[in-house]
Structure 1
Amino acid sequence: MSARPTTAAYPPGLRHTGDRNRRLAERLRESRILIAPGCFDCLGARIIETSGFEAAYISGAGVSLSQLGAPDLGLVSFSEHLDRVKRIADVLTIPVFADIDTGFGGPLSIVRTVREMERAGVSAVQIEDQEMPKRCGHELGRRVVSPAEMEGRIKAAADSRLDENFLIVARTDARTMEGIEAAIERAQRYREAGADVLFVESPESEDEMARIAKAVPGVPLLANMVEGGRTPIMPAARLEALGFRLAIYPNALTRRFAKVGLELMAALKAEGSTLGQMDGMLTHGQLWDLFDSRTWLALESEFGRRNS
């Protein structure tokens, strides 16, 4: 019997990646900041990993826009979101964490959501304290549940995970409607409830971000870098100096894809050809390389020899 190929011989979608939870948990204990760009599909996910990033973030807004063609208003069902998460996690070898909005229901639904997300291969989930129907985190009109209700969500999530290295990210949206002090107080409570990472959404100045970091020391803090949002965009080095350990760019790829797509379609409509646009495209070979096509074909050849 011939030797079985090692896991490294397989393309990302078929490799064993069971240590991703541990890698992410250990990485967030370091002092240097971790940048996790956002993706909404497998193409974006492969771009992130191929570009050398250590983690990826699955944006709920990106999934809603790409899967439903609808804004981030809580319209994506649990099964729709889970299917997309599974597919993205499957093509990555780096840790990935997923936005799960408010958990897709009450405490029992949160238990199921976390169990299914863990099985899907993500290493962390982000749960928030908004009421349903939820809103984008940088829009007005968001309403939040009581701190006690959110503490219940966090406890349900934390208690239902199977791996202690699977992380719970607790997000509060209280800043915009209740003020920074209320948001900080919630973050402190959410830490005590069992959150591994804290995420105060949409602080409106560098001073507010510094206040957050000072108020909750000793726990990884997440900075949400939304271009054109309510929080100032800052270099990763500055975020690190303020005390943040994780920075997400949830929709940078989404916005860039959309802009380039609109420009390409406008040129095609005007010129009747893509000849003038080819310098801005990947070649056929480059696109295949992005998805490890040679590895897939080598594996097919290996199995073909075994069966001949």
Structure 2
Amino acid sequence: MSDASVLSGLLRQRRLLVAPGVYDGLSAAVAARAGVEAAYVSGAAVSAAEGLPDIGLTTVTEIARAIAVVRRHLDVPVIADADTGFGDETNTFRTVRTYEDAGAAAVQLEDQVFPKRCGHLDDKALIPVEEFAVKIEAAVAARRRGSLIVARTDAIAVEGFDAAIARAKQYVAAGADVIFVEAPQTVEQVAAIPSAIGAPVIFNVVPGGKTPEVSRERLEQFGYAGAILPAATIGAAFTAMTEALSDIAGGGLASGSAIGPRALFEAVGLDEWAARRARKEPSRA
């Protein structure tokens, strides 16, 4: 069964699928050890790891490279953030092909004007509904491995809640498999979205963002198929690095973690690589 088929099944089960954000080999390896069922390659996380803000500066090549690295360590379906498709419908077509080749099971596109902004920043702008529908149609036509197309709308912040729901329905009609309505502003809006759409819907968990905190149990009750946690690993890494370097700047010698080199390297396959090397080395007897 393909990753896309597995992901489709997970999104149609009765319980909420939770996909933590990953962005490199180490975060993917840690996610694999944690036993995640799916993962989310976040454009924001890849941007931050490149030392850039999430304002449309990251390229399709950079994110595709991150997807490929993640898939070396993580044998579960990966939902991958493709921002605006990195251009018009022809760029979107190529993006879907590129992401599938890198190992994505789902490609997420959004209806912002390029260059886009993080969904939880202000001053966003949208392209016309009809223009984004054409991008979705191009994404669907580009598929060779059955990847799911996730359509995200940022319309709540720009046009209001009712317009966001209307856009989402048109995106389903254009061929989107999954809907992502970004940044609902109240619990009432969060609750109303799934039943209004008529397709699987995912929820974006962004601590400190524009959306109120909602528990996993309530998201299930509201009817969400899945939840993505884009900052799950990079946010934790940022916090730990900040604390460790603050300690060092204050005169300490914090390592940032009690973990030793062996445990770190075991997380990224030390034993497997050592066993493979041992099979190739001549006997020293």
Structure 1-normalised TM-score?
A: 0.88
Residue 198 of structure 1 corresponds to which residue in structure 2? 179
Mapped pair 1:91 → 2:73:
yes
Query: Unpaired runs of 5+ in structure 1?
Result: 1-17
- 2:34 partner letter: S
Mapped pair 1:156 → 2:114:
no
Find the partner of 2:96 among 108, 111, 114.
114
Residue 249 of structure 2 corresponds to which residue in structure 1? 269
Question: What SS does the corresponding residue of 2:180 show, helix, strand or coil?
Answer: strand
Q: CA deviation at 1:272?
A: 4.5
Residue 8 of structure 1 corresponds to which residue in structure 2? none
Is the 1:176–1:202 contact (alpha carbons within 8 Å) kept by the matching residues of 2?
Answer: yes
Question: What SS does the corresponding residue of 1:203 show, helix, strand or coil?
Answer: coil
| Identity across matched positions, percent | 39
Question: What SS does the corresponding residue of 1:223 show, helix, strand or coil?
Answer: strand
2: distance between equivalents of 1:293 and 1:205? 46
Mapped pair 1:23 → 2:6:
yes
Q: CA deviation at 1:292?
A: 2.0
Question: What SS does the corresponding residue of 2:194 show, helix, strand or coil?
Answer: helix
1: distance between equivalents of 2:240 and 2:101? 35
Q: CA deviation at 1:248?
A: 0.7
Query: Unpaired runs of 5+ in structure 2?
Result: none
- The size of the alignment, in residue pairs, is 283
Give the aligned CA root-mean-square deviation in angstroms: 1.7
Q: CA deviation at 1:182?
A: 0.2
Residue 104 of structure 1 corresponds to which residue in structure 2? 86
2: distance between equivalents of 1:47 and 1:233? 25
Residue deviations 1:50-74 (CA, integer Å, cap 9, x gap): 112111101101111111x121110
2: distance between equivalents of 1:141 and 1:95? 33
Question: What SS does the corresponding residue of 1:226 show, helix, strand or coil?
Answer: coil
1:1-308 alignment runs, 5 A limit = 19-67=2-50, 69-164=51-146, 166-217=147-198, 219-274=199-254, 280-304=257-281
Question: What SS does the corresponding residue of 2:150 show, helix, strand or coil?
Answer: strand
- 1:196 partner letter: D
- 2:13 partner letter: E
Q: CA deviation at 1:183?
A: 0.1
Is the 2:194–2:200 contact (alpha carbons within 8 Å) kept by the matching residues of 1?
Answer: no
Residue 3 of structure 1 corresponds to which residue in structure 2? none
* Segment of structure 1 superposing worse, 245-254 or 80-89: 80-89
Residue deviations 1:107-126 (CA, integer Å, cap 9, x gap): 11111110111011111110
Deviating beyond 4 angstroms after TM superposition, the runs of 4 or more aligned structure 1 residues are none
Q: CA deviation at 1:285?
A: 2.2
2: distance between equivalents of 1:212 and 1:21? 24
Is the 1:90–1:121 contact (alpha carbons within 8 Å) kept by the matching residues of 2?
Answer: no
Is the 2:87–2:114 contact (alpha carbons within 8 Å) kept by the matching residues of 1?
Answer: no
* Segment of structure 1 superposing worse, 291-300 or 29-38: 291-300
